[in-house]
């Protein structure tokens, strides 16, 4: 079984940025736009992730200029900023994809994407794990993700560590802890 993910990780010190999907297998070649124009939201997207019903904020101009071209079907200008979670995180829904972008600093940007259907069944997350060779205060791990409206909690599974349950608030879940490893997957508990 292969673990595939779309991630752009640009140097993060003292954290090592790890972009992961909430899935073990993501056949990227199977992701298509289904004939929809680039940037078009999936008709069921807003109903499944109410965070997309909020107005679009777009990305700051300086950040948008520093990014490579957006994944097919995604437009950086259609970003939805996730507020109240600490770092700068945006969500994108376009074509048949859902993406998260996290800007931890001017030189630290992580992007993960998955198919809309998989995101609606399993969620999507970005995990950042502190480099153990660097001295730094703060949590060893930070996990930020989106879960569909139907999810009440997300259970993060990290091999070799006890699974942790994280509440979902308006589609967003955040976990900061001392686990020195990224979760392998997330399991949704429905409402």
Most confident of 19-23, 49-53, 142-146: 142-146
Q: How confident is the model at residue 185 (pLDDT cuts 50, 70, 90)?
A: very high
Q: How confident is the model at residue 23 (pLDDT cuts 50, 70, 90)?
A: very low
pLDDT in tens, 47-56: 588 888 878 8
- The yes-or-no verdict on residue 36 having pLDDT over 80 is no
Which is nearest to 49 in space by CA: 88, 17, 89, 91?
91
Q: How confident is the model at residue 83 (pLDDT cuts 50, 70, 90)?
A: confident
With a CB cutoff of 8 Å and minimum separation 6, the contacts of 149 are 47, 48, 49, 50, 171
- The yes-or-no verdict on residue 100 having pLDDT over 80 is yes
3-state SS class at 50:
helix
Residues 39, 73 contacting (CB under 8 angstroms): yes
Q: How is residue 59 written in tokens?
A: 């990305």
């Amino acid at each position: 079984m292969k673990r595939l993910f779309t991630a752009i990780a640009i140097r993060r010190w003292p954290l090592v940025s790890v972009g992961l999907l909430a899935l073990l297998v993501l056949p990227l070649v199977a992701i298509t736009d289904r004939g929809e124009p680039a940037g078009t939201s999936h008709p069921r997207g807003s109903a499944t992730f109410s965070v997309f019903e909020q107005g679009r904020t777009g990305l700051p101009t300086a950040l948008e200029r520093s990014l490579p071209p957006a994944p097919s079907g995604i437009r950086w200008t259609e970003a939805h900023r996730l507020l109240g979670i600490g770092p700068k995180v945006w969500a994108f829904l376009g074509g048949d994809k859902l993406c998260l972008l996290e800007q931890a600093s001017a030189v630290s940007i992580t992007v993960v994407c998955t198919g809309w259907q998989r995101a609606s069944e399993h969620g999507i997350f970005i995990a950042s794990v502190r480099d153990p060779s660097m001295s730094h205060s703060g949590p060893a791990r930070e996990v930020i993700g989106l879960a569909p409206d139907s999810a009440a909690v997300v259970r993060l599974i990290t091999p070799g560590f006890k699974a942790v349950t994280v509440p979902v608030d308006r589609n967003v879940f955040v976990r900061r802890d001392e686990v020195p490893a990224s979760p392998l997957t997330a399991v949704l508990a429905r409402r």
